[in-house]
Amino acid sequence: MIEVRSIVQTVQGRTVLNKLSCSFQKGRMYGVIGPNGVGKSTLLHVLSGVEQPVQGEVLFEGQSISAYPRKQIAQKMAVLQQSGLPQVGFSVREVVSMGRYPFQNWLGSDIHDSEEIIAKAIMTMGLEELSHRKMDQLSGGERQRVALAKVMAQEPSIILLDEPTTYLDIGYQIQLLDTVRAWQRERELTVIAVLHDLNLASLYCDELVVLHEGKVAAAGTPRAVITAGLIKQVYQADTTVIAHPVTGAPQILLQPNMKI
């Protein structure tokens, strides 16, 4: 669905992505991983069309993403930002209903019956009891769950997630990723998620894209990508990689240099 062709992108005069190429296929869940500052969030900005690369191009369904009107992109692609939702005075339900904006006509009416869609998104994220609460009365984790419910109400075919587990404790991390994974499989969505936790990325993603020095250092299934050698090369960390006792997915154990 998305093809990235030799893109170059700079941030404050520094080249972050340097002739990077990769592709993302329909119905797969991808994890974009790599050290801090390597350009993971920048890649998402370019994929979404919010930023235009200095060089290269991004093709969406065979056409340059810059050729699409923003509202047309929003009908197919949703983005969950790392910063989450601000502490505004809107209620939870009002914010979730904003996910329907791309489908409103010029009179502000939804071209579909959106009430059931909004209610299902609120229920799926366990927000029924908070639906009338204002956003400025919620914790960071609760606002993150509202943000995902808003994405669900948008009913996209592609979801871009930038650190979706930020502000969430381990229980809600698992709940959020379980929800995204089930939703992705049910509707054959394409999900591209920037993740810092390599073990979560390995557990939930079909494929991983590893960024290093502005390029793709490795891409493929977690079993093909997650190796002690690659972690040493990219993260400069000594690790041991073992198979998860239930799923068999590779999991990383750190090897601290200090004596414990």
CATH code for position 201: 3.40.50.300
The first and second tokens of residue 43, run together, are 């890649």
Residue 251 lies in a domain: no
**24 and 113 within one domain:** no
**197 and 183 within one domain:** yes
Q: Model confidence over 184-215: pLDDT tens digits?
A: 999 999 999 999 999 999 999 999 999 999 99
Angle 65-3-235 from CA coordinates, rounded to 5°: 115
Torsions phi, psi of 205, nearest 5?
A: -100, 145
Residue 244 lies in a domain: no
* Residue 166 belongs to domain spanning: 1-76+156-221
Q: Model confidence over 109-128: pLDDT tens digits?
A: 665 678 889 999 999 888 99
**210 and 160 within one domain:** yes
In this prediction, what percent of the chain has a pLDDT beyond 70?
93
Tally of structural domains, the chain: 2
Residue 193 lies in a domain: yes
The amino acid that residue 189 corresponds to is: L
**144 and 25 within one domain:** no
* pLDDT in the model for residue 227: 96
Higher pLDDT, 19 or 140: 19
Please give the model's pTM, rounded to 2 decimal places.
0.90
Residue 236 lies in a domain: no
**150 and 163 within one domain:** no
Closest CA to 39 of 65, 9, 60: 9
**217 and 165 within one domain:** yes
Q: Model confidence over 29-86: pLDDT tens digits?
A: 999 999 998 999 999 999 998 899 999 999 998 899 989 888 889 889 999 876 666 6
**32 and 4 within one domain:** yes
- 150 in Cβ contact with 98 (< 8 Å): yes
Cα separation, 147 vs 237, whole angstroms: 33
- 59 in Cβ contact with 1 (< 8 Å): no
**105 and 15 within one domain:** no
